[in-house]
Homo-oligomer: A and B are copies of this chain.
């Protein structure tokens, strides 16, 4: 596992959560677990729906700690840019799974009225803005959004967080974006979810092993690599970066080392995946690990966990029902929203 040598390394706990950030209250930790479970359940529901003929999606199964940890460190003032694998970011930010599912199914109650589908869901009201499924699209827009924040067009003190994958780091725009953010001193947190895969290609076919942190570091911005499967580690690193960005106004970089447990886009038989690697990472599942940790530490008991699971299941069932009941858009509204 990669940990950064560029700034103080954050301890590497291989799936066991690292030191708890002081500000994480018991409630916050329980809520983190429940949110991760909600994300997982939401995406498993999408897989189910896809089997029944709904459009496919890119799930973030295995990466829930990244979303929950980073989003948890942001507040309402902040704006988020994300990519095709965004369900976790949206749900962690408080998005309604029903409206998300409606969007995936192409219905009017979806966040984008069915025009987006699963790959570019954005919600202005939640501050999840400018979602692009063009790999690197989010990186190209992030400095501009951060510039607008800096120039007083957003909430005072707000920063921008941009989520992207290890594949996006291969696109030249990654470097252009980092360089501009550094030159212009923009309040921007780069969050790379290094999930080892770039669609059907393992990242070690596309870049040197330590490339992401090395590349980021070469741009001269504070860079941390942490275990992306340990939600409290992610939270701690993100909270610290966010706090520093608020003070300095300058960009920072966070690499979250994690793993894409399911295929690239449903359905995907993962026949091209090394089964040993997959098994090893499944053993380090972020939800399973955190659940055990909270059980062990006595923050929750098996009954509480069962209740949590029930709540999650009910929310997702309600969401699916809502989405499937939602109306299809009218074909004659096809060209609405092209121009302002």
Residues in chain A within 8 A of chain B (CB atoms): 170-176, 179, 182-183, 205-208, 211, 214-215, 217-220
Interface pairs A-B: 7 shortest CB-CB = A172-B172, A218-B218, A175-B175, A214-B218, A172-B176, A208-B220, A215-B218
The docked-state distance in angstroms from the alpha carbon of A171 to that of B179 is 10
User: Can you pick out 17 interface pairs between chain A and chain B where the beta carbons lie within 8 Å of each other?
Assistant: A170-B179, A171-B172, A171-B176, A172-B172, A172-B173, A172-B174, A172-B176, A175-B215, A179-B206, A179-B211, A183-B206, A183-B207, A208-B219, A211-B218, A211-B220, A215-B219, A217-B218
Residues in B neighbouring A214, C-beta threshold 8 A: 218, 220
The docked-state distance in angstroms from the alpha carbon of A173 to that of B172 is 5
Residue of chain B at shortest CB distance from A140:
B172
CB distance from A189 to the nearest CB of B (A): 20
Residue of chain B at shortest CB distance from A221:
B208
Residues in B neighbouring A183, C-beta threshold 8 A: 205-207
Residue of chain B at shortest CB distance from A175:
B175
Residue of chain B at shortest CB distance from A218:
B218
Residue of chain B at shortest CB distance from A170:
B179
The docked-state distance in angstroms from the alpha carbon of A218 to that of B173 is 16
Residues in B neighbouring A211, C-beta threshold 8 A: 179, 218-220
CB distance from A80 to the nearest CB of B (A): 23
**Residue from the list B173, B179, B208, B215 in contact with A207, Cβ < 8 A:** B179
CB distance from A4 to the nearest CB of B (A): 13
